[in-house]
Amino acid sequence: MSIPPDIVCLDDYERRGRARLPADIQAYIGGGAADGVTLRDNREAFARLRLLPRALADLRGASAAASLFGLRLEAPVIAAPMAWQKLAHPEGEFAMATGAAAAGAGCIASCQASVDMTELARHSPAPLWFQLYPQPRREDTLALVRRAEDAGYRALVVTVDAPVNGVRDAEQRCGFRLPAHVRSVNLDGFAQATATRAQPARSPVFRGLIDAAPGWDDIAWLRAQTRLPLLLKGVVHPDDADRSIALGADGLIVSNHGGRVLDGMPAAIDLLPAVARRVDGRIPVLMDGGVRRGTDVLKALALGARAVLVGRPLYWALATAGAAGVAHALAMLATEFEAAMALTGRPTLAAIDATVLAFPPRATPPEATFPGATPQGATPTCLPEAPAGLRTKLDLEPREH
Ligand SMILES: Cc1cc2nc3c(=O)[nH]c(=O)nc-3n(C[C@H](O)[C@H](O)[C@H](O)COP(=O)(O)O)c2cc1C
Ligand SMILES: CC(C)CC(=O)C(=O)O
């Protein structure tokens, strides 16, 4: 499949991708939770950051290469886990993995993939990570872990920010339903949480759905079940980062799920610095949400990320041109990132730090940014101070078990 010549950046894929998909699938892929405040802010927060070029830097032998939990990457960029990719292309996740490998990018297969996870790993030209939604029954979670191990996945990414799905107005308005040929094949036969139907007028969240939500004890249990590196996706509070490390997490992904779960959360890039400062190099911190340009990758690394994940643009690229589209999108992003490194005088990833930013955030302790946070990891209260220009607040008190 050839790449349309007018596609010169990641955003260009959205227009082309949408044109090939029905309205309800567009709403599923492109939508955010509720009013889309967080979805928009993920982009706008990147745009607010400014970069500072350096003149005449010695860039001989420069490289953007990265290595992370068994993935060798041309640039610190990974395809985010995204459900049901057959919605966009008949080859679904196979094409996503092939495209990512062709571009030298990493790829994380979703727990809700529309193809068999073992077949996917077998056909992927490069190693993959597996994203895990803990299942209501531990035996089912364990079955997924063992399949991931046996199939050669190099890491487990446990998504912890979606104990219930977001309020998806756009999907609801369009009446989004999975077509018959698309389903979560890897969860066949597993029990799933359901809302109690007895009192349909009452909220289904606390009547059924939340009963199956994972807690910290599930992370401790999972840690004891596998030697695979364990990354937690969706940790955004410094105290939760501490707790994750104490339980043996090997990496964290600062993420608001692309603005798809809790509308009103701060942008992911605004949440990154406090987590990175608290982690202080103990384990790698990654981020996702709103990464669309090589300069965004640079900004994320400047604020403490080791790598970024990219979501929606790759779904649109998949819809537009299958594996070739995914490879092209990721290659464009890597090229833009290399250009941004060169223009800011950074020949290696190790040379990227907050001085890349024209106005780096003040190096305040996390407690100042997150007044509710406590350095010892005791019970935090809330996240009162939103980034400049954003007045939302978020109660991040972890659930107790
Ligand atoms: C269509 C779609 C499906 C997604 N499915 C999953 C999923 O199955 N598991 C998961 O952890 N995150 C899922 N995500 C969230 C992404 O992994 C990622 O956090 C987010 O897309 C990053 O934001 P971006 O789209 O702005 O790059 C999904 C995102 C999209 C757009
Ligand atoms: C099956 C869905 C809950 C997958 C997901 O995480 C998403 O659509 O954001």
Asked if residue 400 has pLDDT above 50, the reply is: no
How many domains is the chain partitioned into structurally? Answer: 1
Tens of pLDDT, residue by residue over 171-186, are 999 999 999 999 999 9
The amino acid sitting at 332 is: M
Instruction: Give the position, in ligand 2's atom list, of the atom nearest the Cα of 165.
Output: 3
User: Cα separation of 268 and 392, whole Å?
Assistant: 14
In a domain, 391, yes or no: no
Question: Which of the two residues, 191 and 152, has the higher pLDDT score?
Answer: 152
In a domain, 393, yes or no: no
- What mean pLDDT is reported for the chain? 90
Asked whether 258 lines ligand 1 (CB < 6 A), one says yes
Helix (H, G, I), strand (E, B) or coil at 249: coil
Helix axes 138-151, 216-225, angle to 10 degrees: 40
Q: What is the pTM of this model?
A: 0.91
User: Cα separation of 203 and 200, whole Å?
Assistant: 8
Percent of the chain with pLDDT over 70: 87
Residue 38: nearest ligand to its CA? 1
Distance of CA 110 to the CA centre of its chain: 11
> CB 339: neighbour CB atoms within 10 A?
13
User: Cα separation of 17 and 30, whole Å?
Assistant: 10
> CB 224: neighbour CB atoms within 10 A?
9
Annotated catalytic residue within 89, 123, 237, 257 = 257
User: Cα separation of 41 and 214, whole Å?
Assistant: 28
Going by pLDDT thresholds of 50, 70 and 90, the confidence category of residue 126 is very high
Residue 261's domain spans which residues?
A: 10-356
User: Cα separation of 123 and 95, whole Å?
Assistant: 10
Tens of pLDDT, residue by residue over 275-326, are 999 999 999 999 999 999 999 999 999 999 999 999 999 999 999 999 999 9
Does the annotation list 255 as a binding residue?
yes
Q: Which segments of 344-383 does DSSP mark as H helices, in order?
A: 366-369
Output the DSSP codes for 44-75. HHHHH--B---SS---TT----EEETTEEESS
- Of all residues in the chain, what percent are helix, strand and coil, respectively (each to 5)? 40, 10, 50
Residue 132: nearest ligand to its CA? 1
Instruction: Give the position, in ligand 2's atom list, of the atom nearest the Cα of 162.
Output: 6
In a domain, 48, yes or no: yes
Active site residue 181: no
- Cα-to-centroid distance, 311 and ligand 1 (Å): 5
In a domain, 52, yes or no: yes
Question: How is residue 106 annotated by DSSP?
Answer: E
Distance of CA 30 to the CA centre of its chain: 15
* 180's tokens: 């018959």
In a domain, 126, yes or no: yes
For 135, counting Cβ atoms within 10 Å of its Cβ (0-12 exposed, 13-18 middle, 19+ buried), the class is buried
Q: So what's the pLDDT on residue 388? A: 44
In a domain, 251, yes or no: yes
Asked whether 112 lines ligand 2 (CB < 6 A), one says yes
In a domain, 264, yes or no: yes
User: Cα separation of 158 and 130, whole Å?
Assistant: 8
Instruction: Give the position, in ligand 1's atom list, of the atom nearest the Cα of 28.
Output: 1
In a domain, 252, yes or no: yes
Q: So what's the pLDDT on residue 236? A: 98
ipTM above 0.85, yes or no: yes
| Mean pLDDT to the nearest integer, 365-379 | 55
What CATH number has the domain bearing residue 257? 3.20.20.70
Tens of pLDDT, residue by residue over 61-116, are 999 999 999 899 999 999 999 999 999 999 999 999 999 999 999 999 999 999 99
